[in-house]
Amino acid sequence: MSEPILKIENLHKWFPLRRTITQILKGEHVWVKAVDGITFNINQGEIFGLVGESGCGKTTTGKLLMKLLEPTDGKIIFKGKDVTHLEANKLKEYRRNVQMVFQDPYASMNPRFRAQDVLEEPLIIHQVGETRAEREKIVRRSLEEVRLIPPEEFMGRFPHMLSGGQRQRVATARTLVLSPSMIVADEPVSMIDLSTRAEILHMMKTVQRELGLTYLYITHDLSTARYFTDRIAVMYLGKIIEMGGADEIIDEAAHPYTRALIAAVCEPISGKSNTIKEIPIKGEIPSAANIPSGCRFHPRCLYAKPQCQEEEPILIEIEPGHMVACHYPSV
Amino acid sequence: MEDTDNILKVENLKINFFTRKGIVYAVDDISFSLKKGETLGLVGESGCGKTTTVLGLMKMVPTPGEITGGRILIGGKDIIPLSENEMRQKVRWEKISMVFQGAMNCLTPVYTIEKQMMETIQEHKNIERFQAKKCIINYLNLVGLPEDIIRRYPHELSGGMKQRIVIATALFLEPEIVICDEPTTALDVVVQAQIINLIKRLKKKLGLSVIFITHDLATEAEVADRLLVMYAGKLVEIGTNEQIYGNGGPVHPYTEKLLKATPRLHEKVEELSFIPGTPPDLVDPPSGCRFHPRCSEAMERCKKDEPPLIEVEPEHQIACWRNYHE
Ligand SMILES: Nc1ncnc2c1ncn2[C@@H]1O[C@H](COP(=O)(O)OP(=O)(O)OP(=O)(O)O)[C@@H](O)[C@H]1O
Ligand SMILES: Nc1ncnc2c1ncn2[C@@H]1O[C@H](COP(=O)(O)OP(=O)(O)OP(=O)(O)O)[C@@H](O)[C@H]1O
Ligand code: SF4
Ligand code: SF4
Ligand SMILES: [Mg+2]
Ligand SMILES: [Mg+2]
């Protein structure tokens, strides 16, 4: 196994919540524990998937890695250096190395910018390329990398002249102009057509292989995560509850929550329209401002025992490379 | 097939939008039927005309759109000639109702759930307030929500709860046909599965006939008894769940490609295939078969002549020259 390019240690992000007067007088604080102590490594050249339901802290994790947010606690180590707190000049260098792309072709481009302007902007900000011609060369190369060929045909186009898939290619090309070593790709619960999404993922995988990039891929969709990633971490209410090889997580899930997620996925297979599919989970996801005691999944877990309410399970390795945080994992 | 089995029959429906850019042929001569008690899926890429089709069935096509041809038979009676007044009094919500795309995000933020639901119910039904309230609580229970939710505001509810409220509202006047337009698209998988189960349970319990729209073939496999596949304003394939998802697989190249682009959880594939290009502009759709610029099977004929919808086996129809035998 290759060296980790990124190490996350016990990372926390708590957002303060507005307090009532009584709470202020009593000196009580209320926190939204968006990211509540996560630890993982991403290896050089790997696609690492972060999966979980809306509000579980995926985007916050991505933003912490991008250093768009200051962590409440914990460490981020990138290429062996502690980057948890960086001064402005170091931060700029870090951001050249780690780029973020939002998987939303409809929201990610300024309507008044041509594709060329979109790609040139980060070059100007980071003072890459002495002359216009030099910058244009880089822009061309990036467009070719995302298969917008010939680049001349696309450089002058405004967003409305591009399809959803092409727009996402431009957004990806924008992250590539600075030759980063790592890309954080955040895909929200979205309305993107499946065929467009397949096109985007196919393109991203090709680029990743060719350039040897490392990805953190954020999604709510296990089916695409299985296709797209090497390893998967499943998050629930700010914590990683299971982590391992993509195939292992799907085929040998050990955490009751992962198993419920898997059971809920629709598959394009015939003969199910008349059956009710039982999903082994209770109720709805609680608020991140009010995290249950012990195992945070216990109010929804069908297998919860008294211990689960009191003691928080920690991530332990049940198979080489397969970690689970549950007192009673199924194996 | 005896017509008495069909609760709804659509014949040669055409809906155009008359825009400054030109005429958008959003729904172009489509025919299908809905059987009593079945769930009919309607699937296709964004912009292919799914929402416009069902807004047509409700006679709620927004301007500058217009139904320009065809018949919509509900219980054997064409509703196209009906006036807005007749639609409102006798048909809409009572015979056919709809869960609108994105409606869960359009609840009035300053109204409690009780007030939202009360407005809808009193607009259409002449009943006392206390009766209406009873009815609301009844329907909330039916969709699996606790009674105390009526005092809450939309922002205090999760996406799944809001979608349940929208579904309950669509059921108030005891319709026979319920259209669900992308009811699960913006929800998390667990909530999606719960909403799908809810729709299945309601269908059984109330004897509903359902039209279920999504762009996701995997979701459709779990809900639809039969499937309509739409491309650029046209129906390209109609088949049963087994015919589309079973071993034989779909017959139309578009459905085939769409299915291949749908990832499967329990099957690891090296490459996910996709359909190159984009759906056409419906102001100026391609000649012949509308799919021909993106079809890897296209022949000369496909560019010139439009393929008719023909039956390839009982209940299974496609519009494609590849499988056409004169
Ligand atoms: N700036 C903020 N202030 C307060 N709370 C926040 C802030 N940003 C995020 N949160 C909260 O933190 C939690 C995690 O949010 P986050 O956006 O990371 O979730 P997510 O997993 O990306 O969800 P989604 O799948 O919907 O994108 C949520 O409860 C959210 O409401
Ligand atoms: N009010 C309108 N004015 C002009 N054109 C419209 C209008 N509403 C829809 N259209 C056009 O009609 C076509 C069909 O749109 P429709 O909303 O029915 O598609 P859809 O299949 O429901 O798409 P989605 O999956 O994105 O909801 C599109 O080309 C759209 O641009
Ligand atoms: S620790 Fe207990 S409550 Fe938590 S997932 Fe495991 S069995 Fe369920
Ligand atoms: S008619 Fe021709 S272009 Fe159209 S789907 Fe069939 S083979 Fe392809
Ligand atoms: Mg997010
Ligand atoms: Mg629609």
Residues of A in contact with B218 (CB under 8 A): 223, 265-268
The residue that leads in pLDDT, B36 or B281, is B36
Residues of B in contact with A54 (CB under 8 A): 159, 188
The residue of A261, A267, A281, A287 whose CB has the most chain B CBs within 10 angstroms, and thus the best one to mutate to test that interface, is A267
Q: Ligand 3 centroid to A318 CA: how many Å?
A: 15
Instruction: Express each pLDDT in B185-221 by its tens digit.
Output: 888 999 999 999 999 999 999 999 999 999 999 999 9
B11 with B73: CB under 8 angstroms? yes
A260 lines ligand 3 (CB under 6 A): no
CA of A162: which chain B residue's CA is closest?
A: B278
A327 lines ligand 3 (CB under 6 A): yes
Q: How far apart are CA B64 and CA A137, in angstroms?
A: 46
Ligand 3 atom 6: residue of nearest CA: A326
Asked whether the predicted pLDDT for residue A105 surpasses 60, the reply is no
A297 lines ligand 3 (CB under 6 A): yes
Neighbours of ion ligand 5 (CB under 5 A): A 59
The residue that leads in pLDDT, A112 or B323, is A112
CA of B197: which chain A residue's CA is closest?
A: A276
B45 HSE (CA, 13 A, CB side): 28
Asked whether the predicted pLDDT for residue A191 surpasses 80, the reply is no
Q: Which residue is listed with tokens 């409606």?
A: B103
Whether B263 and A262 lie within 8 Å, measured CB to CB? no
State which of A224-228, B85-89, B299-303 shows the largest mean pLDDT: B299-303
Instruction: Express each pLDDT in A283-296 by its tens digit.
Output: 888 988 899 999 99
Whether A269 and B245 lie within 8 Å, measured CB to CB? yes
Residue among A202, A260, A274 minimizing CB distance to B271: A202
3 state DSSP class of B243: helix
CA of A198: which chain B residue's CA is closest?
A: B274
Q: Ligand 5 centroid to A189 CA: how many Å?
A: 8
Mean pLDDT of A181-203: 80
pLDDT of residue B1: 45
Among residues B44, B46, B58, B45, the alpha carbon closest in space to that of B15 is found at B58
A322 with A244: CB under 8 angstroms? yes
- Copy the structure tokens of residue A238: 């700010």
Pocket test for ligand 2, best of A190, A191, A196 (most atoms within 8 A of CB): A191
Asked whether the predicted pLDDT for residue B2 surpasses 60, the reply is no
A231 and chain B in contact, CB less than 8 A: no
Q: Ligand 5 centroid to A288 CA: how many Å?
A: 14
Q: Ligand 1 centroid to B193 CA: how many Å?
A: 23
Q: How far apart are CA A257 and CA B189, in angstroms?
A: 12
Q: Can you state the angle between helices B129-142 and B159-171, rounded to 10 degrees?
A: 120
Q: Ligand 4 centroid to B215 CA: how many Å?
A: 21
A58 lines ligand 1 (CB under 6 A): yes
The residue that leads in pLDDT, B155 or A29, is B155
Ligand 3 atom 3: residue of nearest CA: A298
Q: How far apart are CA A225 and CA A125, in angstroms?
A: 33
Residue B73: its H or E element: strand B65-74
Which pLDDT band holds residue A109 (cuts at 50, 70, 90)? confident
A163 and chain B in contact, CB less than 8 A: yes
A42 with A5: CB under 8 angstroms? yes
Instruction: Express each pLDDT in A117-154 by its tens digit.
Output: 999 999 999 888 889 999 999 999 999 988 888 899 89
pLDDT of residue A151: 92
Length of chain A counted residue by residue: 331
Radius of gyration (Cα) for chain A, nearest Å?
21
Residues of B in contact with A301 (CB under 8 A): none
CA of A265: which chain B residue's CA is closest?
A: B189
A101 lines ligand 1 (CB under 6 A): no
Q: How far apart are CA A57 and CA A54, in angstroms?
A: 8
B230 with B25: CB under 8 angstroms? no
B50 lines ligand 2 (CB under 6 A): yes
Q: Ligand 2 centroid to A22 CA: how many Å?
A: 51
For residue A262, give every residue at least 6 positions away whose Cβ sits within 8 Å of its Cβ, in sequence order, or none. Answer: A222, A250, A253, B265
How many residue pairs bridge chain A and chain B with CB atoms within 8 Å of each other? 148
Proximal ligand: closest to the CA of B188: 1
Whether A194 and B262 lie within 8 Å, measured CB to CB? yes
Residues of B in contact with A164 (CB under 8 A): 46, 278
pLDDT of residue A1: 52
Q: How far apart are CA A217 and CA A178, in angstroms?
A: 19
A196 with B257: CB under 8 angstroms? no
pLDDT of residue A188: 59
Instruction: Express each pLDDT in B274-313 by its tens digit.
Output: 898 888 989 999 999 999 999 999 999 999 999 999 999 9
Instruction: Express each pLDDT in A249-273 by its tens digit.
Output: 999 999 999 999 999 999 999 988 8
pLDDT of residue A68: 92
A 182-221 residues with CB < 8 A to B: 189, 191, 193-199, 201-202, 220-221
Q: Which residue is listed with tokens 């390795």?
A: A317
Chain-centre distance of CA A249, in angstroms? 17
Q: Which of A7-21, A233-247, B31-45 has the lowest mean pLDDT?
A: A7-21
A240 lines ligand 1 (CB under 6 A): no
Chain-centre distance of CA A158, in angstroms? 28
3 state DSSP class of B192: helix
Asked whether the predicted pLDDT for residue A25 surpasses 90, the reply is no
A 37-66 residues with CB < 8 A to B: 53-54
Pocket test for ligand 1, best of A14, A53, A58, A296 (most atoms within 8 A of CB): A58
Proximal ligand: closest to the CA of A69: 1
Question: Nearest-CA distance from A57 to chain B in Å?
Answer: 14
Proximal ligand: closest to the CA of A51: 1
In one letter, which amino acid is A5? Answer: I
pLDDT of residue A111: 84
